[in-house]
Amino acid sequence: MTDLSKGAAWINGRIIPIADASIPVTDWGVTHSDIGYDVVPVWKGAFFRLEDYLDRFMASLKALRMEIPQDRSAIRTALAEMVAASGLQNAYVAMVAARGRNPVPGSRDPRDCDNHFYAWCVPYVHIVKPEIAQTGTSVWIAKTVRRIPQDSVNPRVKNYHWGDFTSGLFEAKDRGFETTMLLDHDGNVTEGPGFNVFAVFGDRIVTSDHGVLHGITRQTVLDMAAARGMGIETRALPLEEFWQADEVFLSSSGGGVIPVTKVDDRHFSNGAPGPVARHLRADYFEWLDRDALCTPVPYP
């Protein structure tokens, strides 16, 4: 038996250990970062909101004009069989479409490439360690970089263009901060590496509507807040307004709702998770268990 407990990959119809999964160095997925991807969480043996993640992935393929051999049904089956084979009960599951290699000698035409699909899964990834998320995390606002604008690379098509995030992460880590968030060129709050950002004002929550991924967990937060009767605003969030927030939190498929207690040198909600973030964080773990939102993994 092959050990897949550290993760598995689905490549060309074969399920292999994650350590063996690779992509050619000349694939445009590498040389042009010409990839669309998505990540769906598996929690307690079930995919969460799988069809929503598939919706977004299929929309990304269309936006990128990629044509892969697998249709939505085949993708769903590949993901299920791969996670089932891995045995992982809590997993981070990536579905990836890459532009591929160009088989036409000398061609620089993206339309000539052999687009392809692969997938992989590893044990569940927390973008902030759970023990830190529980007590509230710190966030550094990147000073040397601004978020790649949406008229350069569309952030709603989930992509691997992370150069701006990586620069921000170095800034943050050098200063002892857990993670980073980026501003746009107009000084509005956008997003960070793997998460959306929310500000709480009384019984309203605000998150950016432009220059960011429209995260599925972001949507879950909006749904949960609505269920609690809170006001919801998706619009530009200027930094000056952000500083006035009662509370701040992050949303990510890698950890749900993550309270923020410190941004740069400012403390929020007296340095402890605020009540809204705490309630929404608890809601998220409860929603993860809702049958209507779950698709059980067909373990053998």
Contact set with a second copy (CB under 8 A): 7, 9, 18-19, 21-26, 29-35, 65, 96, 99, 106, 108-111, 118, 120, 122, 125-129, 144-149, 151-154, 159-166, 169-170, 173, 179, 185, 193-194
* Among 183, 171, 158, residue whose Cα is nearest residue 236: 183
Beta pairing, strands 204-207 & 231-234: parallel
Is the CB of 21 or the CB of 239 nearer to a second copy? Answer: 21
Least spacing, CB of residue 44 vs a second copy, in Å = 19
State in angstroms the smallest separation of the CB of 278 from a second copy: 23
> What residues form DSSP beta bridges with 135?
none
Query: Distance between CA 203 and CA 190 in Å, rounded?
Result: 21
| Cα→Cα distances 150→132, 147, 156, 185, 258, Å | 31, 9, 8, 11, 25
Residue with tokens 């705490």: 278
Residue number, 176 or 300, with CB nearest to a second copy: 176
Cα 226 to its chain centre, rounded Å, is 22
For residue 293, give the DSSP letter. Answer: G
Q: What is the closest distance, in whole angstroms, from the C-beta atom of residue 221 to a second copy in the complex?
A: 21
Q: Which is nearer to a second copy, 57 or 287 (CB)?
A: 57
Smallest distance from the beta carbon of 247 to a second copy, in angstroms? Answer: 23
Measured from the CB atom, the residue of 58 and 132 that comes closer to a second copy is 132
State the nearest-atom distance from the C-beta of 32 to a second copy, in Å.
4
Q: Kindly tell me which of 145 and 293 has the beta carbon lying closer to a second copy.
A: 145
Q: Smallest distance, Å, CB 13 to a second copy?
A: 16
Q: Which is nearer to a second copy, 29 or 136 (CB)?
A: 29
Helical H segments across 207-274, by residue range: 216-227, 239-242
Cβ contact 17:6 at 8 Å: yes
What is the C-alpha to C-alpha distance for residues 247 and 214, in angstroms, rounded to an integer? 21
